[in-house]
Amino acid sequence: MADPLEHLVSQLLALTTVEPGTGARRLPPERELGDALGMSRGALREQLSVLERLGFLHRTQGRGTYLDRPSDDFVRTYFTIARELGYLTDGQFAESRVLLEEAVAEAAAARATEEDVALLRAQVDTMISATRAGDHEAAFEADVAFHRRLQAMVDNPVLHLMHDGLAHVLREAIRFRRLEAVAVEVPDEDGVRRTDSVHYAIVEAIEAHNPEAARQAMRAHFENWAALGIPAAR
């Protein structure tokens, strides 16, 4: 049996008007909608508010109410609150991120363009130059951008939602981990740290369109942190 909210969405879809050009799905005014659904305005508003909080509905002053593609906010909120309440741990988040990143690297290797590879390599170059200059915040942001680029290459909304939620929760832990590496990791003779350069192997595997090598390279990236004795999360 369908959840009441899911059933309501099915009913709403049948009552929407698709606007030409934009494809936006506009709902009728509340009074008309309530009559069509056999719901009081109070009950209807309560259900519409739930959809709005989940990001599936938005209201535009002077235009109306629309069903919408959700943002990442509700996934971030769910993960953040679940973590605060102790239902999900940093270790579970970190493990999930490793598994997801491996799958994304594998998929990216099958789809990468020359432009994608160039952009990924540029992010690794930025990590290295920023770390050499002592700008660890810039190196961290380049690291984040590298993994976001992989997500964009795969272009799967489900994976994107999961990745964004996990990365949001772990963001400060990842920053902390990179700063810890500065104290324990010995750079090579050119001043390059493996925590940065290990990303090149991922790029090379993706450039070669070798999914299994890309998965293995991503795994080696995370294993490098373990080898340094730095936990995946605080």
Residue 195 and residue 225 in contact, taking contact as beta carbons nearer than 8 Å: yes
Residue 66 or 234, more confident: 66
In the chain, CATH 1.20.120.530 covers 74-227
End-to-end CA distance of the chain: 41
Residues in the chain: 234
Query: Is the model's pLDDT at 125 over the cut of 70?
Result: yes
Mean pLDDT, residues 5-21: 89
Residue position matching structure tokens 């990365």: 167
- Per DSSP, the three-state class of 94 is helix
The burial class, CB within 10 Å (0-12 / 13-18 / 19+), for 107 is buried
Average pLDDT for 120-124: 97
Say what the pLDDT of residue 176 is.
83
pTM exceeding 0.85: no
Return the beta strands (E) in the chain as ranges: 17-18, 25-27, 57-60, 64-67
Letter string b/e over residues 192-209, b meaning 16 or more CB atoms within 10 A of that residue's CB: bbbbbbbbbbbbbbbbee
pLDDT band at 1 (very low <50, low <70, confident <90, very high): very low
CB 138 within 8 A of CB 130: yes
Topology at the third CATH level for domain 74-227: Four Helix Bundle (Hemerythrin (Met), subunit A) (1.20.120)
Does the CA dihedral 192-193-194-196 come out positive or negative? negative
The per-residue pLDDT for 231 is 61
pLDDT band at 233 (very low <50, low <70, confident <90, very high): low
| Inter-residue contact 82 to 42 (CB < 8 Å) | no
CATH of 4-67, one of 3.30.70.1230, 3.40.50.2300, 3.40.640.10, 1.10.10.10: 1.10.10.10
- Domain(s) of CATH 1.10.10.10: residues in the chain: 4-67
* Average pLDDT over the chain, rounded to an integer: 89
Which amino acid type is present at position 203?
Answer: V
Res. 71: pLDDT tops 60: yes
The pLDDT tens digits for 78-102 are: 899 999 999 999 889 889 999 999 9
